[in-house]
Amino acid sequence: MQKHYTGLIERYRDRLPVSASTRIISLAEGATPLIQLQNIPRMIGKDVEIYVKFEGLNPTGSFKDRGMTMAVTKAVEAGSQAIICASTGNTSASAAAYAARAGIKAFVLIPDGKIALGKLAQTLMYNATIIQINGNFDQGMELVKEVANHAPVSIVNSINPFRLEGQKTAAFEIVDELGFAPDYHCLPVGNAGNISAYWKGYNEYATDRVCGNRPVMCGYQAAGAAPFVAGHPIENPETVATAIRIGNPQSWDLAIAAQQESGGWFDKFTDQQILAAQKMLSQFEGIFCEPASAASLAGALYDLSTGKIPEGSKIVCTLTGNGIKDPEIAMQQCADAKPVTIEANLDAVKRAILDSM
Ligand code: F0G
């Protein structure tokens, strides 16, 4: 009989820094679906295989849970009673959930007014202490690093190496499922932990000959928050994709290494392009991700259109978070599609249907 799924640490235990006596803090994260796009490749007239790794189906709705199960497991193992992070929203929701699971406290610093509604609601429900700052993520990150020197709290941002250990398992899952690594791996880049973690995962599998190839890593940023494209940190990042509204990425060197070693690149896309990709995925594939996540598809489609990614390629795009997290953007995206209100009788319903056929 098959044992029920108990999360990515159990699944990849031999590749993660845990021992037999470690108490695993898990919400059965990971094992997210890898969905092959069917309609969009046909619409763009390209012979390609595009798969999306839908990380929005993790327990708190984002890829952060992969790193958080490891980071909180190790914090608890080390005797921590409290964790802290700066966040654009998803890390805070994830940290709060895993802290609740572990029975410890979570403190989160978030930029006032700049996090999506769903993420705020989650973090409140999981009962974290939320500290809103009159500043952006980068300022929050600096404060968290300082305060951790003065208070008994473990940082669970991706500067915590256990975060990347957990997140590298997404690459394992992709290879385990496809039987090979994709030719190109596209993902949104903010603080740059995730691109670094994927590269680590692909490298470990290639080194151990679990697969024979490694992907080219393509990191996409929002035009108003694109330090990797600029080549240096930027002061006042701005984008509708609040998850990646970051100007001073903490995993700078690791992300540059991933790009250079894989022969990949960074690029940037406007809010309009990102939102168009988000809507396209929802409308034509039935996959609802949050705006930041759609940067991966926006980039892949652009690079396919210019031939930078050639036809015949196998591409994986990571969809980092669930669209339900940001209902306000979704409603704005669909402002023209107002629901009709009618009388509650059969005739009116029939007319409403026939009118919109
Ligand atoms: N996509 C989503 C939905 C995110 O929440 C983030 C980061 C990223 C992409 C970028 O990933 O930072 O590893 O390059 N969110 C962090 C947070 C910063 O606080 O939730 P990255």
Write out the DSSP string of 41-109: HHHHT---EEEEEEGGGSTTSBTHHHHHHHHHHHHHHTT-SEEEEE-SSHHHHHHHHHHHHHT-EEEEE
In a domain, 346, yes or no: no
Can you give the CATH number for the domain in which 216 is found?
Answer: 3.40.50.1100
What is the residue range of 36's domain? 8-61+163-333
**Residues 76, 56 share a domain:** no
**Residues 47, 154 share a domain:** no
**Residues 264, 189 share a domain:** yes
**Residues 313, 180 share a domain:** yes
Domains held by the chain: number: 2
Domain final residue pick, 135, 159, 183: 159
**Amino acid identity at 301:** L
Confidence of residue 3 (pLDDT cuts 50, 70, 90): confident
Tell me the pLDDT of the chain averaged across its residues: 97
**Residues 240, 265 share a domain:** yes
Confidence of residue 248 (pLDDT cuts 50, 70, 90): very high
In a domain, 43, yes or no: yes
Residue 166 has pLDDT above 80, yes or no: yes
Q: Distance from the CA of 41 to the center of ligand 1, in angstroms?
A: 26
Residue 215, pLDDT score? 98
- Rounded Cα–Cα distance for residues 351 and 162 (Å): 58
Residue 66 has pLDDT above 70, yes or no: yes
Q: Distance from the CA of 90 to the center of ligand 1, in angstroms?
A: 7
> Which residue out of 55, 320, 329 has the highest number of ligand 1 atoms within 8 Å of its CB and is therefore the one to mutate?
320
User: Which ligand 1 atom sits closest to the C-alpha of 193?
Assistant: 13
What's the rounded mean pLDDT across residues 333-344?
92
Confidence of residue 280 (pLDDT cuts 50, 70, 90): very high
- Rounded Cα–Cα distance for residues 258 and 202 (Å): 10
Residue 14 is classified by DSSP as: G
Residue 54, pLDDT score? 99
- Rounded Cα–Cα distance for residues 47 and 67 (Å): 34
In a domain, 344, yes or no: no
**Residues 212, 290 share a domain:** yes
What does the pLDDT look like over 13-50, one tens digit per residue? 999 999 999 999 999 999 999 999 999 999 999 999 99
Domain final residue pick, 159, 181, 207: 159
- Rounded Cα–Cα distance for residues 350 and 344 (Å): 11
Phi and psi at 312, nearest 5°, equal 90, -5
